[in-house]
């Protein structure tokens, strides 16, 4: 292991101790260090960082992202090796681009669950139908559902323990009785079809292994196409993560419909979703015309009472 690779291991350990996952940065930085080694370099320079970041690939945003990953590592390296250069911010112009959430209707969620019935193997069908429903009614992250173990389910108490999620947080997710019933049904079927799985995971493949993130996303695309769910624009495509957005919007709409204080419910929703800061929850609500209509109506009602 070279000095740069040893330093990278230390950098990743420090960042992960703060709760960061860093799966993609680890891969990118390993590629960058391999590039430096191929060039015979022993430390980071702005020239080589920029050259590596600009290697042919995707668009300017991707190049800027690659350089930002190097900047973080270079800043850490500079505290150990003063000769290491930290590339300046903004060397590669880019425009922040964030996908527009696709807010699923109840009918679309039902269609997605129905589409999963066409998957090969009964266990695979159930292993996709049940998580789709779980994500839709809890707003859990996809990765959180995949990482669930049997020990994380307290179905008698109606609670899921989500362990070591984003930023290393662990939280309890209470379940509606109908969700508990659905999970019990899935586990009975799972145990009948695969009594001795290779993994303690709740949701398993027909081989008895934990689901892989990339395979879940690939299957989701097939299910969305089968259900007839199409992109609404180039920036608004049906992603599995958008079930989380749809849950957040539906929760707040239900609160307003019941006459509850939406702002107070927002704080509870933020905790339920596992957000570090309530401001992160606001992003989940920005693309909802229904919420904008409610806000407009509340403003109109307020103005109507003024002279």
As annotated, the active-site residues are 141, 166, 241, 244, 275, 284
Cα(264)–Cα(84) distance, rounded to whole angstroms? 49
Q: Report the candidate in 137, 146, 126, 129 with the shortest Cα–Cα distance to residue 104.
A: 137
Cα(105)–Cα(290) distance, rounded to whole angstroms? 12
Cα(147)–Cα(125) distance, rounded to whole angstroms? 19
Residue the block writes with tokens 């930002």: 68
Cα(298)–Cα(192) distance, rounded to whole angstroms? 53
In the chain, the N- to C-terminal Cα span, in Å, equals 75
Phi, psi (deg, nearest 5) at residue 207? -80, -5
Q: Tell me the DSSP string of 163-206.
A: -S-GGG--EEEE--HHHHHHHHHHHHHHHHH-SS-SS-BSSB-T
Q: Are 200 and 213 in contact (CB under 8 A)?
A: no
- The DSSP element (H or E) to which 162 belongs, if any, is strand 159-162
Angle of helix 122-138 versus helix 242-257 axis, rounded to 10: 50
Chain centroid to Cα 229, Å, comes to 20
Q: Are 200 and 211 in contact (CB under 8 A)?
A: no
Chain centroid to Cα 212, Å, comes to 14
Cα(236)–Cα(234) distance, rounded to whole angstroms? 6
């Amino acid at each position: 292991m070279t000095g740069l690779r040893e330093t990278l291991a230390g950098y990743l350990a420090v960042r992960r101790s703060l709760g960061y996952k860093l799966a993609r940065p680890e891969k990118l930085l390993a590629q960058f260090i391999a590039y430096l080694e191929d060039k015979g370099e022993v430390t980071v320079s702005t020239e080589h960082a920029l050259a590596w970041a600009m290697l042919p690939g995707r668009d300017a945003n991707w190049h800027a992202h690659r350089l930002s990953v190097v900047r973080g590592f270079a800043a850490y390296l500079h505290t150990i090796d003063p000769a290491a250069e930290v590339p300046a911010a903004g060397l590669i112009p880019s425009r922040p681009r964030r996908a527009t959430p696709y807010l699923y209707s109840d009918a679309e969620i039902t269609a997605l669950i129905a589409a999963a019935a066409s998957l090969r193997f009964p266990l695979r069908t159930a292993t996709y139908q049940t998580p789709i429903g779980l994500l839709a009614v809890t707003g859990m992250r996809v990765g959180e559902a995949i990482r669930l173990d049997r020990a994380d389910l307290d179905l008698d108490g109606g609670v899921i323990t989500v362990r070591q999620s984003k930023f290393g947080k662990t939280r309890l997710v209470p379940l509606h009785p109908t969700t508990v019933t659905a999970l019990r049904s899935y586990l009975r079927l799972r145990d009948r079809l695969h009594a001795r799985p290779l993994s303690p995971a709740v949701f398993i493949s027909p081989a008895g292994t934990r689901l892989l993130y990339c395979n879940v996303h690939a299957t989701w695309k097939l299910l969305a196409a089968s259900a007839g769910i199409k992109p609404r624009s180039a920036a608004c495509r049906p992603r599995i993560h958008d079930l989380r957005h749809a849950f957040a919007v539906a929760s707040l709409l239900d609160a307003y419909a019941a006459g509850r204080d939406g702002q107070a419910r927002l704080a509870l929703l933020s905790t339920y979703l596992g957000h570090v800061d309530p401001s992160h929850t606001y992003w989940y609500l920005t693309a909802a015309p229904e919420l904008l209509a409610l806000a407009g109506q509340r403003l109109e009602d307020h103005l109507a009472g003024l002279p």
